[in-house]
A and B are shown apart, each in its own frame.
Chain A
Amino acid sequence: DVKVTQSSRYLVKRTGEKVFLECVQDMDHENMFWYRQDPGLGLRLIYFSYDVKMKEKGDIPEGYSVSREKKERFSLILESASTNQTSMYLCASSLEGGGPMGDEQYFGPGTRLTVT
């Protein structure tokens, strides 16, 4: 069974702390994504990665960085957490080469991060 796991379901951090959100997929997918979800705004893409050590900015990359040292793992880093980064964070993965097949994205359960 396809699986995307995220390191925590709930996380509480203080302003200014460095925060790591980890995502692991067991499907040998090339593509991995980080989204955040806020009420009234839907899902917004932060960063995505096509391959190990490759990354591209999504729609809202400011205040975030990412790391992909291994194919199965994609980390989202908040260098200095702020209260406006309180949100639900969702990780996803998909196969390379969507094209006509429109490869589906598989999502993890999400991490609800609260920054106080």
Chain B
Amino acid sequence: DAKTTQPNSMESNEEEPVHLPCNHSTISGTDYIHWYRQLPSQGPEYVIHGLTSNVNNRMASLAIAEDRKSSTLILHRATLRDAAVYYCILRHLFGNEKLTFGTGTRLTIIP
């Protein structure tokens, strides 16, 4: 399975945008990029996913590099509730439903 690399931790000020990077240099053409987050004392929750084009939803935006070797999850205006561990995961188009979680990035929001 292709692997992802994320910083262990990041800090951001409340009400400012946050850019969470993920490197996946061995990504294949049929790997989707998924992001999940885990709030304290909860199970992970889905955030967003994409293949080649940038994606937006109500929670976040996903910017995917042209060569697909990296991507960035963008929280446009961080709130205290966004403090969580964020996981970047690759999922093969024709693979099984399995997700392989890394250790993610712990995001701290400073009031």
A48's nearest neighbour on chain B, judged by CB, is B98
Most buried by A among B46, B91, B99, B102: B99
State which of B93, B99, B102, B104 has its C-beta within 8 Å of the C-beta of A105: B99
Per-residue interface assignment for chain B, residues 82 to 102, with 1 indicating a CB less than 8 Å from any chain A CB and 0 otherwise: 000001000101101111111
Q: How far is the CB of A81 from chain B (nearest CB, A)?
A: 22
- C-alpha gap A107/B101 in the complex (Å): 13
Which residues 55-111 in B have Cβ within 8 Å of A in the complex?
87, 91, 93-94, 96-104
Number of interface residues of A (CB under 8 A): 31
Which residues 45-76 in A have Cβ within 8 Å of B in the complex?
45, 48, 50, 56, 58-59
A1 CB-CB contact with B under 8 Å: no
Q: Within 8 Å CB of A40, what residues of B?
A: 103
In the complex the two chains form, is A48's CB within 8 Å of B97's CB?
Answer: yes
In the complex the two chains form, is A102's CB within 8 Å of B45's CB?
Answer: no
Q: Within 8 Å CB of B98, what residues of A?
A: 33, 45, 48, 58
State which of B36, B93, B100 has its C-beta within 8 Å of the C-beta of A100: B93
Q: Within 8 Å CB of B51, what residues of A?
A: 100
- C-alpha gap A48/B101 in the complex (Å): 15
- C-alpha gap A104/B34 in the complex (Å): 9
In the complex the two chains form, is A43's CB within 8 Å of B101's CB?
Answer: yes
- C-alpha gap A100/B30 in the complex (Å): 9
Q: How far is the CB of A94 from chain B (nearest CB, A)?
A: 5
Q: What are 5 A-B pairs at a CB distance below 8 A?
A: A4-B43, A35-B101, A45-B99, A48-B96, A105-B46
B-contacting residues of A (Cβ < 8 Å)? 4, 31, 33, 35, 40-45, 48, 50, 56, 58-59, 90, 92, 94, 96, 98-100, 102-110
